[in-house]
A and B are shown apart, each in its own frame.
Chain A
C-alpha cells in the first residue's frame, strides 16, 4: 500500500517537471476556445466524480456511524439530525449540479455574447425568502430539542452522579441514599480523597466514589461535571451527550439511558461494527473487542488527551442498585 503511494508521489513529481518544460513553449496564456471546451468538459466529469465520491462515502461509511440513540432524549436528536441532513443533501445535490452543469454548458465559444442579466428582484426575493422560511422552521425545531436536552427540571426522580476529570483519567461520585452530592473543591484533595470531597458537609458521608460508571436503564441521570486542572469534556456519543468540564465551576448535563450494554451489544449495527473491528484486530494479532459504551475526553487537555478512559456500563435498574449497594461510601473509604 505504502509503496503504491510512493510511486504515485514519484509520478506526480515527474509529471510536474515534465509539465514545467511547457513553459518553454510560450503559448498564449489566456484560455482559448479549445481550453474552454476541455475545461468545461472536465467540470462535467468532476461533477460526476464528486457525486460518485459522495454516494460512495454515504454507502460505505454508514457502517462506522453511531447506532441508534442509547438515551431517551437522544431519539429526538436523531430525528432532528435526520431531517437536517436530509435538507442538506437535497440542497447540495441540486446546487452542485447547477454549478458544474452551467460551468460545462456555458463554456466559452468565440463570437458568442453572454446574456446581459444583471438583476432580478423576483429571483432575489425567492432565494432570500425561501431559505429564511426553511431556516425559521429549523430554528424552531432545533430549539425545541435543545430545551429538551438541556432542561432537567421535568425529570422524574433523577440520579445525581458527579464525573470528575483530570489529566489524564476520570473518576465518578454517586450521590448516595440522600441523592445529594456533598460539596467538593480541589482544596480538599488529600490522600485517598482524590476528588476533594468536603467531608464537613453532611451530604458527603454517603457519597460513593468509583472508577467505573454504572448507569441504570430507564432512570434519568443528572451528571455534574468538575475538572481538577484544565478544560476537559465528557463526550458520550452513544447517548448524544457532551459537556465541558471546567476548573472553577460545576457544569451539568442529563439523559435517561434507554439500552443496557447487553442490549446494545445485540444491536445489528453494533454487531456488524464489532465484527469488522475484530477482523481488523485479528489481522494485527490483537485480542478481540467487545462493545462498551464510550466516555471520551473531547477538549484538548494535554499529551494524553487521546487516552482518558473510564468504563460505562448500563444495567437494568435492579442490577444497578445491587452494584451500587456493594460499593463503599466516602466515609468507609476514608476510614481505611
Chain B
C-alpha cells in the first residue's frame, strides 16, 4: 500500500491509477460529463412541456429520427425523462458524488495511505466508466433508448411491442446498470473496510469527521440494497429473453395473448424499491455529511450535536430499508402493508428533522465565512427542509392517493434529493478543490453560480407543486389532450424558463472548474483553516499522502473557536493542553 517508490508511467498515473485521489478525480470528471448530458436532456423535454406545438431547431438538431419538424415524438419524450432520471440518480449523484468524495476523503481524513485495495478501487472506477459508455451507446440505437421511466416497471419495460425503447435500448440499459451495480459494490466494500481497518493512531470512530460517518453508512446501505436491484434486473432479463414469467401474466398485446402466466409486476416494484428507497439516501447522506463539514468549518464552530448527527445518520440508514412500500401505496398491494409503510415512513422524518435543527443551530452565534461552499451548504439545508416537508404528504398513504405520480412527487424528490444533493456536490467541489488540484476556484464566479442556481431551483420546483396538486400526472408528453389542464400552461412556461436559466448557469461552474484546474490561484496549505487531517498533507499531493509518518490524532475534528486557544481552529493532531477536557 505505501508504494511511493514504484515507477509511475503515464498510464499507471493518469489512466489505470490505483491512487484514491486520482480515482476520485476520474469519478468527478465522468460524473460532470454525465451531468451535462442529463441537464441537457431535461432542457429538451422542458421545451416540449412548455411549448408543445412549437418547432425548435435545437430539437431538430439533436433528436434526428425521433423528431418531426422540430417537435419531438412522444416515444422519445418518454425516453428522455427515463434516461435523465437514470443518469442523474445513478451516474451523477451516486457515482459522481460518493465515488468522488468517498475516494478523496476517506483515506485522507482517517489517516491512511490509500484505500484498502487500490486495485479493486481502480476496477470500480473503470466499471463505472464502462457502464456510462454503454448507457450512452443506448441513446443511439434505432428504436431509441429505454423509455419506461427510470423505474422501468414491467410489463412496459419487458415488452418491445409495448414501447420501442423496450427493445435493444432497454437491454443496453440493463447491461449498463448491472455493471454499474458491480462498480458500486466494489467501491462500497472498499470504503467500509478502509474506514474500519485503516484509521490512524488515535482516530477512534467517535473522532471521525461526519463526512466519513456519512460515507461509511452510505456504503453499508449500498451493499445491502444494490444486490436487490441486480436481482430485479436479472429476473427482468430472464422475462425479456428467456420466456420466464416472474413479472408477467395475462397479457394481450398486438392482437394476441402472450404465453406468460403467473407473474406479477408488483414483485418487480418491491425488488426495485427495496433498492430505490435506500438509493435516495445513498444519494443524500454523503451530501449531508459534506454539509456538516462545510458548515462547521465555515461557521468556525463545532457541528452542533455531533453524536446526535451520527445517531441520526444510522437511524436514517436503518429506517430507509423498511420504508420502500411508500412508493407503492396504490399499486394494489394489501392496504395493511400500506399502513405499515406509512408508520415507518413518517418515523424517518424524526432523524431528518434533528439534522435540520442541528445545522441551523450550528449557524447560531457562529462567525460565518461565506465561501461558495458555505453558500451551497446553507442552500442545501433550505431545499432539504422544503422538499422533506412535502414528504409528510407523500408518506401518508391516504394523502398519497391523490398526489401519487403527479408533478407533486416530481417537485418533492427534485427538491429533497436532486437539488439538495447537487448542492452538496457543489459544496464539496468548491471546498476540496484546493486539495484535489492544489489551486483555488474563483470565488466571484462561485457566488454568481450559487445565486443564479438557487433562484432558478426554487423557481422551477416550487410552482411545480401546484401543477401536481391540480391533478397533472407526470410523464405526460403534453397537457393539451385534456382542456381541463389548459390553465397550467402558464405555470409550465415559467418553470421551463427558470429551468433553462438554471441549466445555462451551470456553464459558470464548468468554466470556473476547468479553468481553475490550470490557472487557478495556487492554494495555501489550509485555506479554510480546517481541523481535519486532509489539510495536513502537502499542497501538491503525493502517492501515500504523507511524506513521513502518518499523523496521530489527539482530538475530535470540531474544536473551532474553542476557549483557551488563540486561533479559532485546532487541528486534530494537536495534543490536548494540560487540564483540557476533550469535547
Contact = CB atoms under 8 A, between A and B. Distances in A.
A80 interface: yes
Contacts of B78: 300, 302-303, 305
A147 B397 CA distance: 10
Nearest to A280: B486
Interface centre among A80, A228, A305 (most CB of B within 10 A): A305
B381 interface: yes
B409 to A, nearest CB: 11
Contacts of B389: 88, 91-92
Looking at chain A's contact residues, is the secondary structure mostly helix, strand, loop, or mixed?
helix
Interface string A88-132: 100110011011101100111100111111111001100110011
Nearest to A42: B451
A23 B515 contact: yes
B558 interface: yes
A296 B562 contact: no
A54 B363 contact: no
B386 interface: yes
A112 to B, nearest CB: 5
Interface in B475-525: 475-479, 481-484, 486-489, 491, 493, 497, 500-501, 504-505, 507-508, 511-512, 515-516, 519-521
B228 to A, nearest CB: 20
Contacts of A5: 497, 500
Contacts of A305: 74, 78, 475-477
A105 to B, nearest CB: 9
Interface stretch (A45-53, A169-177, A203-211, A314-322): A45-53
Contacts of A253: 330
B32 interface: no
Given A29-B442, A92-B386, A128 B252 contact: no
Interface string A5-26: 1001100110110011011001
A114 B505 contact: no
B443 A31 contact: yes
B347 interface: yes
A307 to B, nearest CB: 4
A186 to B, nearest CB: 4
Interface residues of A, number: 133
A113 B486 contact: no
Contact of A142 (B354, B398, B459): B398
Nearest to A8: B501
Nearest to B266: A246
Given A108-B367, A248-B248, A119 B378 contact: no
Contacts of B120: none
B60 interface: no
A99 B405 CA distance: 31
Contacts of A40: 368, 370
Given A50-B458, A247-B265, A249-B264, A240 B402 contact: yes
B353 A131 contact: yes
B442 A22 contact: yes
Interface string B347-369: 10110011011011101111111
B347 A31 contact: no
Contacts of B159: 229-230
B148 A300 contact: yes
Contact of A106 (B368, B459, B493, B519): B368
Interface string A47-89: 0011001100100010111100000000001001100110110
B576 interface: no
B396 A88 contact: no
Given A123-B361, A228-B252, A242-B404, 15 more contacts: A5-B500, A23-B442, A39-B447, A57-B466, A87-B392, A88-B389, A99-B385, A106-B364, A115-B366, A117-B301, A167-B162, A248-B251, A249-B249, A249-B332, A280-B489
Interface of B: 73-75, 78, 148-149, 153-156, 159, 162-163, 248-253, 257, 262-266, 299-302, 304-308, 330-332, 335, 338-339, 342-343, 346-347, 349-350, 353-354, 356-357, 359-361, 363-371, 374-375, 378, 381-382, 385-386, 389-390, 392-393, 396-399, 401-402, 404-406, 440-445, 447-448, 451-452, 454-455, 458-459, 462-463, 465-467, 469-471, 473, 475-479, 481-484, 486-489, 491, 493, 497, 500-501, 504-505, 507-508, 511-512, 515-516, 519-521, 527-528, 558, 560-563, 568, 583
